[in-house]
Amino acid sequence: MTCSPVASNSLNITVSDVREVRQQISIQRIRLSAVNHIDLIVL
């Protein structure tokens, strides 16, 4: 029974980390798309 709270805490941490990683990936995709558009305009 002592391991259950630790497991729940680790699950909560992983969920929050996944959300942060998804936000960072979406921001990086927006930046990459913007850079690609700038390169096309320059070319």
pTM of the model: 0.47
Q: What is the pLDDT of residue 43?
A: 60
Residue ranges covered by each domain of the chain:
14-42
Q: What is the pLDDT of residue 37?
A: 78
- The per-residue pLDDT for range 1-43, each reduced to its tens digit, is 455 555 566 666 677 888 898 999 888 888 888 887 777 777 6
Q: What is the pLDDT of residue 14?
A: 79
Q: What is the pLDDT of residue 28?
A: 86
**What are the b/e assignments for 1-23, b being 16+ CB within 10 Å?**
eeeeeeeeeeeeeeeeeeeeeee
Report the chain's C-alpha Rg in angstroms. 19
